Structure 1
Amino acid sequence: MHDRSPETAPHAPGTGARGHGHRLGHGHGRGHGLGDGHGPGEGHGPVQGHGLGVAPDRRLRLPAGLRAPVEGRHWRELGYVLLSLPVAVALFTYAVTMVSLGAGLLVTFLGIPVLAAALAGCRGFGALERARARALLGCEVADPEPVRPRTGNGPLAWSGAVLRSGASWRALLYTLVQFPWAVFSFCVAVTFWAAGWSLLTYPLWFWAFPVWGGQDGIQLYGDGQHAFYLDNPFEIAVTALVGLLIVLATPWVVRALTTVDRLLVHGLLGPSRLSARVSELESDRGVVIDTAAADLRRIERDLHDGAQARLVNLAMELGLAKEKLAEDPQAAARMVEEAHGEVKTALQELRDLARGIHPAVLTDRGLDAALSSVASRCTVPVRVDVDLPERPAPAIEGIAYFTVSELLQNVSKHSRARSASVEVWRSEDRLMLQVVDDGVGGARLDGGSGLRGLAERLDAVDGVLVVDSPPGGPTRVTAELPWRR
């Protein structure tokens, strides 16, 4: 850094400064070559050794902090910030103009439809903003709840539904809040980006100051007596180094700015927590209804094909025995004996069917005894460990019982296991179940073993099913249910 008075400051930068600029350019060239040869996009393939087999594939990856300025994610985020300013100006202008016009016309009948049209326009712009965030930020935001008129389908019903919709007012709030934030983020991003790249490339263009500007370089300080310029090789190198640091910091600054944009889009343009919960409950209600209907069909099928068929056959046999009672008492006695066996079989089927609906042992003695009964019917030895200080809600207890029953059926049918274990315990306000077997593994939620339907059934009551089943085993299925007591 040179201290020169205005009268004596020369205009020539000297050859040393250009020489330093050449060295910096050479270094940058080597860095570029390293990125092209060994970067994440092109690494070397396998290299044949001299009689030693194939050498491992080696790639030299730059640290994330050095790759960030040239990655596509940074340029998409920067593009989002730069585009936000004109978009925010348009949204803010539309929202303020239309809402002001609608509010001013509220003294007449026209105010309500104009205000509804303003909110509907904000909802439409919100859809465009969600699409822009999805394309440039990878931010997936679900659509808010649709406008649903309570009664009728006319313009008045539609206007009332738009005005009552919380999503409409959140979209309006987004247009008002995003404008000042877009101005701030645009200024910060452009300042960092322009300053960083300008200083980093200073060795390439500093010669323009003496040739076209009439000064030695960038002026840091100047008054009537002294002026300080960045004009010698050392100062130019330090300037470029500072520019490099700013360039490396810019992606993280832009990412922090777009994090706020993500929060705005999620919080104001997506569905509210209440509406999301309502949608989830509606979906869960559908699952519960479908499950109940499937259970009713299963019970009807079991009754029709099992106990009902046996009882019909029993009635026919008893009728024949009644006819033969006078003619051939011995044959009638044999037929009655066979009918007695059919009665026992039908009774056993009815007991099994009742146990499938809701076992009496579960109601009388709880999960420990009920699960021990289920384990005793499994084809492999099962160890049952139930550690509960008290019984959960009856509905949750029933779901836990049928979950373990279905999992043990899968163990019997699909696992080829030699042993299994069932553990049940309470963790705060959650009921935890875990079934482990030493079978062949490979179970998946999208497989054909009924695990997907079981997961949907648990999800309907805010439960979770996790399957850990690597090929070769063991299989560990963990279920979590609310306690609700």
Structure 2
Amino acid sequence: METEYGRRPARQHFLPPALRAPLEARTFREFGYLLLSLPISIVMFTWAIVMVSLSAGLLITFLGIPVLAAGLVGCRAFGALERKRARALLGVDVPAPQPVRGKRGMAWIGAVLKSGVSWRHLLYSVVHFPWALFSFVVSLSLWVYGWGLVTYPLWQWVFPTYVGQDGIQLYGDGTHDFYLDSPFEITLTVLVGLVVTLAVPWIIRGFAYVDRGLLFGLLGPSRLEERVVELESDRGVVVDTSAADLRRIERDLHDGAQARLVALAMDLGLAKEKLTEDPQAAARMVDSAHGEVKVALQELRDLARGIHPAVLTDRGLDAALSSVASRCTVPVQVEVDLPCRPVPAIEGIAYFTVSELLQNVSKHSGASRAGVDVWRAQDRLMLQVTDNGRGGASVSGGSGLAGLAERLDAVDGILVVDSPRGGPTTVTAELPWRA
């Protein structure tokens, strides 16, 4: 059954986690991952050591360089296999690092050797083997012994029937023997096995968390690579936004002021022709053209304010946001508490963010009042726009808030929307403070 937020309700469990852990599917998947790790790590370790050793021996003939590159490529292939295995058994999605950037031949070999990703895959192939061996031995031993002791009453009869002793022998020196064969000893054996069985899943999960750390640390993209990818994405957003703004300006000029000026030129031309024939008609046409000039000037002022308002440059955010609030269709209370002005770029982004949010309030919220708060919190510029409207705003794909969130993200900003159905709505934006 789906909830109103699109999620399935959590399954109700009658047993506590400690008791149901040995039989959970997660435990079996993680245990299977640890068991498979040993044979795979043996192959990876062997490949890495053989290829590095071979390349070191062949360096004198220059063949060692392509051999080493081939070894690193093989380690990257094993890394791709490990990420798929982790996705299937551990339920973690380790992002794939950036592929090797280089053309064929020596340029490609050089790119492989200079890639930090390749060397981290080689390091994983080497260090994962001893860890895989340790986790394999410990988890398998505890798993077998735990379940073996729990089920001891079911197979204890094997010893007197086929081995010639009363049960599991704990001690024997030729004169004294101790076997687990009495009801008390069998019960105690089952209890010890139960404790081990209940503890094994958590030990296995601890081992799996270590594997997750190795996967993310050595087989995933580095923080520098993630930052580069993020900056490339942000650059694309900035370019798209700039292109959209230029298209908007061109459209406003073409459809607005330019069209009025063309009509004005035609009216003045007609007035010039009628000046000698019908001075009164020419005067009326000049008067009409004067009105068109005023409208065109107002459109140009609005367009210039949309590009970068003069009041923001001259007097800062407090005056600029108060000007925006005065044009809003609902009463807006503006409070700006800043010790100094941020850099013009951040100040401009903050202005247009609040301006767009207030436009949303006017068009979509149905609110009777709104508020704008601006303050500085350490190295962040905080913006908050609230209204008492109907709520339901979200940053889902395709909405204006989604585009605004992308533009803020391009400068390391954050947009958070809290808008339950029925309201009120609070939209908080964070921008880096750069004085």
Instruction: Return the TM-score normalized by structure 2.
Output: 0.95
The alignment of Structure 1 onto Structure 2 pairs a total of residues equal to 425
Note if 1:467 corresponds to 2:417: yes
Note if 1:330 corresponds to 2:285: no
- Among 159, 184, 192, the alignment partner of 2:109 is 159
Taking the aligned partners of 1:463 and 1:292, their CA distance within structure 2 comes to 17
Taking the aligned partners of 2:13 and 2:41, their CA distance within structure 1 comes to 42
Taking the aligned partners of 2:344 and 2:165, their CA distance within structure 1 comes to 87
- Among 418, 421, 431, the alignment partner of 1:481 is 431
Taking the aligned partners of 1:448 and 1:92, their CA distance within structure 2 comes to 48
Could you tell me which residue of structure 1 aligns to residue 187 of structure 2?
Answer: 237
Could you tell me which residue of structure 1 aligns to residue 5 of structure 2?
Answer: none
Could you tell me which residue of structure 1 aligns to residue 84 of structure 2?
Answer: 131
Could you tell me which residue of structure 2 aligns to residue 80 of structure 1?
Answer: 33
Taking the aligned partners of 2:212 and 2:109, their CA distance within structure 1 comes to 30
Equivalent AA in structure 2 for residue 74 of structure 1: T
Q: Counterparts of 1:59-98 in structure 2 under 5 Å?
A: 61-98=14-51
Taking the aligned partners of 2:369 and 2:20, their CA distance within structure 1 comes to 52
Could you tell me which residue of structure 2 aligns to residue 270 of structure 1?
Answer: 220
- Among 458, 463, 470, the alignment partner of 2:408 is 458
Q: Counterparts of 1:140-179 in structure 2 under 5 Å?
A: 140-149=93-102, 153-179=103-129
Taking the aligned partners of 2:122 and 2:406, their CA distance within structure 1 comes to 37
Note if 1:284 corresponds to 2:234: yes
- Among 370, 374, 377, the alignment partner of 2:327 is 377
Give me the CA root mean square deviation: 1.4
SS in 1 for 2:395: coil
Taking the aligned partners of 1:230 and 1:220, their CA distance within structure 2 comes to 7
Q: Against the structure 1 CA distance between its residues 356 and 96, is the aligned structure 2 distance closer, same or farther, given a 3 Å change threshold?
A: same
Taking the aligned partners of 2:361 and 2:391, their CA distance within structure 1 comes to 10
SS in 2 for 1:196: helix
SS in 1 for 2:179: strand
Taking the aligned partners of 1:418 and 1:121, their CA distance within structure 2 comes to 65
Could you tell me which residue of structure 2 aligns to residue 247 of structure 1?
Answer: 197
Displaced runs of 4 or more, over 6 A: none
Q: Residue 410 of structure 1 contacts residue 449 of structure 1 at CA under 8 Å; is this kept in 2?
A: no
Which structure ranks higher in relative contact order (CA pairs < 8 Å, sequence separation ≥ 6)? 1
SS in 1 for 2:386: strand
Could you tell me which residue of structure 1 aligns to residue 6 of structure 2?
Answer: none
- Among 67, 91, 112, the alignment partner of 1:114 is 67
Taking the aligned partners of 1:284 and 1:118, their CA distance within structure 2 comes to 35
SS in 1 for 2:77: helix
Instruction: Return the TM-score normalized by structure 1.
Output: 0.85
- Structure 1 stretches of 5 or more lacking a match? 1-57
Taking the aligned partners of 1:59 and 1:132, their CA distance within structure 2 comes to 29
Note if 1:386 corresponds to 2:336: yes
Q: Which has the larger displacement, 92-101 or 223-232?
A: 223-232
Q: Once the 2 structures are TM-superposed, how far is the Cα of residue 59 of structure 1 from its aligned partner?
A: 5.7
Equivalent AA in structure 2 for residue 280 of structure 1: E
Q: Against the structure 1 CA distance between its residues 101 and 198, is the aligned structure 2 distance closer, same or farther, given a 3 Å change threshold?
A: same
Could you tell me which residue of structure 1 aligns to residue 305 of structure 2?
Answer: 355
Q: Counterparts of 1:32-71 in structure 2 under 5 Å?
A: 61-71=14-24
